[in-house]
């Protein structure tokens, strides 16, 4: 398989350039990409070093490297483009058409989207992360009035990573409540959940996949027997239907897909970072 | 301030389109954007509904909405473009030049970057998240041999959100160790840290900002007195220097900036999701 070298270069974090290049390059499964990220390239000397690295790779491989960039400073971008690479600059491409459409000049401050622009908004996001860690695994249910959503599901159905994703990426206060045998054997729906019924969202998962995840984590035992996984998943789904709780099968979904679906179906406010 | 309506539309999660539009629109601080995200628009009926929403907003506001899209299916994109909007399609723009440069056809599968493409790789990422939650706040230090990095710092210096970010976004096993008065008063450096010295990275923060964060969280008291914050921060920095631990001042840095810096300075392998 061919290997093609890719540089991601920015005078800030380079997160935008990395996200976009990742999306583009996954479109070429037949090419093996070797990625070199150079964040914080913010001086003439650092840009010069980057130029030399690009040119060295080009000479060694006989192929021009692909270079994805976002730069605050136009002069840095211009200096970098002296290197012998194939350049993709996201701002260069879209800012012009946007300026014309909006009849406004851009502030020329690429990278602000991942900086700490607004301290109050930023603090609120950190609070959301702390909230999700604090309310993980069904603890501190008394804080559910602060929650925007409460994810329910059996152990290892994906609640914790999804809550943390919602908090980190969108500043959403997400708690999670693990369903255990205690919940299934009780005649009554727990008070902590009942009073927040409109915030509840259930996750379910195929028992076979659940067994696999539990085995990887804890090895064999009652907890990771297929029979036990089947029992818990069935009971969870019965509970969701009985209580009218919206739910989804997360078996073959990524954290991003589960998170996006939860936001969409629960109509949560999303404030991306 | 002008308000301009923005649609983010995808037949998958729309995360790539959202990242791009967010980065671009933060360049126009003088415009107030109202964003409507429509993920999973993956049928003729749903695209039709999206077209109607775009046109309705255009009629109501007298301004064409900006529409950022990523579509797996070309037919969906073409159908959507019948709406009266200003379109920015990220794949349309860059895939052509990339195909020519790579002399390869793209797989036409936009959105794979945020799906669960490779189960083993995905499972490893979830394990990283679980590891970070499990090793939060200095618990389970015996698991540090699994860690790729151990963030140190006083309480509320940003360790937990940074560790979770590194795990969720890059699959990095990141533990965190809170520095307390016990650590400062001891003559010896704790064993759990000493044997993993090459994984240690310290965070520091301006005492005034630390005080503000602690007050917001816990109100007044010894913990959030400026004198106490100053004492802890000074001692932490003394410890870093004595032990030769690399560190940075995270006062005015976002989680993404701290995370990117840690990866860069510790030369961690990054595997973006």
**Which of B31, B90, B111 is nearest residue A20 as measured by Cβ atoms?**
B90
Backbone angles phi, psi at B10, to 5 degrees: -150, 155
| Per-residue confidence (pLDDT) for residue A109, from 0 to 100 | 59
Nearest chain B residue to A108 by CA distance is B27
| Per-residue confidence (pLDDT) for residue B113, from 0 to 100 | 59
Domain residues for the domain of A98 are: 3-114
Question: Do B144 and B261 belong together in one domain?
Answer: yes
Interface test with B, best of A1, A102, A169 (most B CBs within 10 A): A102
Half-sphere exposure of B185 (CA within 13 A, CB side): 3
| Contact yes or no for A69/A18 (Cβ under 8 A) | no
| Contact yes or no for B20/B90 (Cβ under 8 A) | yes
Assigned domain for B160 exists: yes
State how many domains chain A has: 2
**Which of B15, B19, B95 is nearest residue A24 as measured by Cβ atoms?**
B95
Question: Do A81 and A155 belong together in one domain?
Answer: no
Radius of gyration of chain A (CA): 24
Q: Which positions 130-149 of B are in contact with A (Cβ < 8 Å)?
A: 130, 133, 136
- The verdict on a CB contact (< 8 Å) between B164 and A70 is no
Query: Three-state SS across A99-148?
Result: HHHHCCCCCCCCCHHHCCCCHHHHHHHHHHHHHHHHCHHHCCHHHHHHCC
Question: Do A128 and A257 belong together in one domain?
Answer: yes
Residue A216: count of CB within 10 angstroms of its CB: 13
| Contact yes or no for A163/A151 (Cβ under 8 A) | yes
Assigned domain for A272 exists: no
Chains A & B: contacts with CB separation below 8 Å: 204
| Per-residue confidence (pLDDT) for residue A105, from 0 to 100 | 84
User: Quick one: average pLDDT of A134-138?
Assistant: 79
Query: Three-state SS across B99-164?
Result: HHHHCCCCCCCCCHHHCCCCHHHHHHHHHHHHHHHHCHHHCCHHHHHHCCEEEEEECCCCHHHHHH
Question: Do B33 and B145 belong together in one domain?
Answer: no
Half-sphere exposure of A179 (CA within 13 A, CB side): 29
- d(C-alpha B262, C-alpha B250), whole Å: 11
| Per-residue confidence (pLDDT) for residue A110, from 0 to 100 | 47
Assigned domain for A227 exists: yes
List the A3-10 sheet strands across, edge first: A32-38, A3-10, A66-70, A86-89
**What is the token pair recorded at A7?**
């540089």
Question: Do A259 and A142 belong together in one domain?
Answer: yes
- d(C-alpha B269, C-alpha B273), whole Å: 13
Question: Do A106 and A124 belong together in one domain?
Answer: no
State yes or no: ipTM above 0.90: no
- d(C-alpha A133, C-alpha B182), whole Å: 24
Task: State CA A24 to chain mean position distance.
Answer: 17
User: Quick one: average pLDDT of A188-199?
Assistant: 89
Task: State CA B161 to chain mean position distance.
Answer: 9
- The verdict on a CB contact (< 8 Å) between A264 and B39 is yes
Assigned domain for B272 exists: no
| Per-residue confidence (pLDDT) for residue B174, from 0 to 100 | 96
Question: Do B56 and B134 belong together in one domain?
Answer: no
**Which of A18, A107, A165 is nearest residue B272 as measured by Cβ atoms?**
A18
User: Quick one: average pLDDT of A76-84?
Assistant: 94
User: What CATH code is carried by the domain that includes residue A74?
Assistant: 3.40.50
Report pTM: 0.85
| Contact yes or no for B241/B202 (Cβ under 8 A) | no
| Per-residue confidence (pLDDT) for residue B12, from 0 to 100 | 87
Question: Do A91 and A128 belong together in one domain?
Answer: no
Assigned domain for B43 exists: yes
Q: List chain B residues with pLDDT less than 70.
A: 1, 108-118
Instruction: Please tell me the distance in Å from B187's CA to the nearest CA on chain A.
Output: 32
Q: Which residues of A touch B268 (CB under 8 A)?
A: none
Domain boundary among A68, A88, A114: A114
Assigned domain for A270 exists: no
Query: Three-state SS across B31-68?
Result: CEEEEEEECCCCCHHHHHHHHHHHHHHHHHHCCCCEEE
Assigned domain for A271 exists: no
Q: Is A116 on the interface with B (CB under 8 A)?
A: yes
Question: Do A95 and A130 belong together in one domain?
Answer: no
| Per-residue confidence (pLDDT) for residue A115, from 0 to 100 | 60
Average pLDDT value for chain A: 89
The residue assigned the tokens 């579509």 is B71
- The verdict on a CB contact (< 8 Å) between A97 and B88 is yes
pLDDT tens across B156-168, in order? Answer: 999 999 999 999 9
- d(C-alpha A237, C-alpha A182), whole Å: 15
- d(C-alpha A104, C-alpha B179), whole Å: 48
Q: Which residues of A touch B90 (CB under 8 A)?
A: 20, 23
Assigned domain for B207 exists: yes
Domain boundary among B64, B94, B114: B114
Nearest chain A residue to B135 by CA distance is A133
pLDDT tens across A22-73, in order? Answer: 888 888 888 889 999 999 999 999 999 999 999 999 999 999 999 999 887 8
Question: Do A184 and A245 belong together in one domain?
Answer: yes
Provide CB contacts within 8 A for B228, sequence distance 6+.
B222
Q: Is B85 on the interface with A (CB under 8 A)?
A: no
Question: Do B217 and B147 belong together in one domain?
Answer: yes
Question: Do A166 and A181 belong together in one domain?
Answer: yes
| Contact yes or no for A204/A237 (Cβ under 8 A) | yes
| Contact yes or no for B83/B55 (Cβ under 8 A) | yes
Domain boundary among B95, B114, B133: B114
C-alpha dihedral sign at B102, B108, B110, B115? negative
């Amino acid at each position: 398989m061919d290997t093609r070298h890719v540089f991601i270069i920015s005078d800030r974090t380079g997160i935008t350039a990395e996200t976009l290049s990742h999306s583009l390059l996954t479109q070429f499964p037949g090419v093996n990409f070797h990625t070199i990220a150079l964040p914080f390239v913010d001086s003439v000397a650092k840009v010069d070093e980057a130029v030399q690295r690009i040119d060295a790779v080009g000479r060694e491989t006989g192929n021009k490297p692909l270079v994805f960039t976002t730069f605050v400073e136009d002069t840095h971008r211009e200096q970098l483009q002296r290197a012998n690479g194939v350049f993709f600059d996201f701002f260069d491409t879209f800012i012009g058409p946007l300026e014309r459409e909006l009849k406004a000049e851009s502030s020329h401050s690429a990278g602000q989207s991942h900086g700490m622009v607004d301290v109050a908004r930023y603090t609120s996001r950190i609070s959301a992360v702390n909230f999700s860690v604090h309310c993980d695994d069904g603890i501190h249910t008394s804080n559910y009035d602060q929650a925007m959503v409460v994810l329910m599901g059996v152990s290892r159905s994906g609640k914790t990573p999804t809550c943390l994703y919602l908090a980190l990426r969108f500043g959403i206060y997400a708690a999670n409540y693990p369903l255990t045998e205690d919940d299934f054997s009780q005649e009554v729906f727990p008070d902590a959940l009942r009073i927040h019924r409109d915030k509840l969202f259930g996750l379910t998962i195929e028992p076979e996949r659940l067994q696999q995840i539990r085995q990887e984590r804890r090895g064999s035992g009652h907890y990771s027997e297929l029979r036990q996984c089947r029992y818990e998943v069935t009971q969870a789904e019965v509970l969701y239907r009985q209580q009218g709780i919206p739910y989804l099968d997360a078996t073959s979904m990524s954290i991003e897909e589960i998170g996006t679906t939860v936001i969409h179906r629960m109509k949560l406010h999303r404030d991306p970072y």
